[in-house]
Amino acid sequence: MKIHKEGYVIILIALIICATIFTVNHIFLKDILILYWLINAFLLVMFYLVVQFFRVPFRKAPQGDNLIICPADGKVVVIEETEETEYFKDRRVQISIFMSPLNVHVQWNPISGITKYVKYHAGKYLVAWHPKSSTENERTTVVVQHANGKEILFRQIAGAVARRIVCYSKENETVIAASEFGFIKFGSRVDIFLPIGTQIDVNIGDIVQGKTTVIGKI
């Protein structure tokens, strides 16, 4: 496991804040043992939570040119046919993965191919499971075209807590399935839009793991 580069500054700030509070606590409250140790325990837990949020576990991706790799850790909350209005402007199968603050928040490319479209949208901060969060929240949309000509759209969506989406994708670049393409800071969601008729290998309620879970075949 390693720490993601997006966390370096935040972890340093958290460390400084915790160290400052610990110092004040040690100077003024060390004789009030229960309160002293409760505060220290709270600081330790908070710092641990900040660090674990930016963890990047070492994972081995499954092999197969036609596999659709899960782009994020979390829980499958939507699998439905819907109208995709931004890029395809037609009917697609939508799969939505909700990420809690305790999940790994790196995102990975679900397929290999050419990045055809990347667009950032400023927006609201509705809770990530809200039906309108996919079209009204702050979000970044990416489309990758597979070697077989089929395209997959995937969208990073900010939630009520998430306030910054980071996307490294660039149009016309070649990407490899399970390579990193972005990071969302704190609770959030990722939507994937697949061609109608795509084989889907996950169900609503499934707990999925980015880079390792196969969600279907293209």
pLDDT tens sequence across 162-196: 567 889 999 999 999 999 999 987 668 899 999 99
Catalytic annotation on 188?
Answer: yes
Which residues fall within 8 angstroms of residue 116, CB to CB, at 6 or more apart? 143, 144, 145, 151, 171, 172
Give the residue from 167, 150, 204 showing the smallest Cα distance to 71: 167
pLDDT tens sequence across 80-126: 999 999 999 999 999 999 988 888 989 999 999 999 999 998 876 66
What is the overall mean pLDDT for the chain?
Answer: 90
Which residues fall within 8 angstroms of residue 96, CB to CB, at 6 or more apart? 76, 77, 78, 79, 134, 189, 190, 191, 192
Partners of 114 in the β-ladder: 145, 174
Tell me which of 96, 133, 134, 188 is the catalytic residue.
Answer: 188
Whether the CB-CB separation of 201 and 58 falls below 8 Å is answered with no
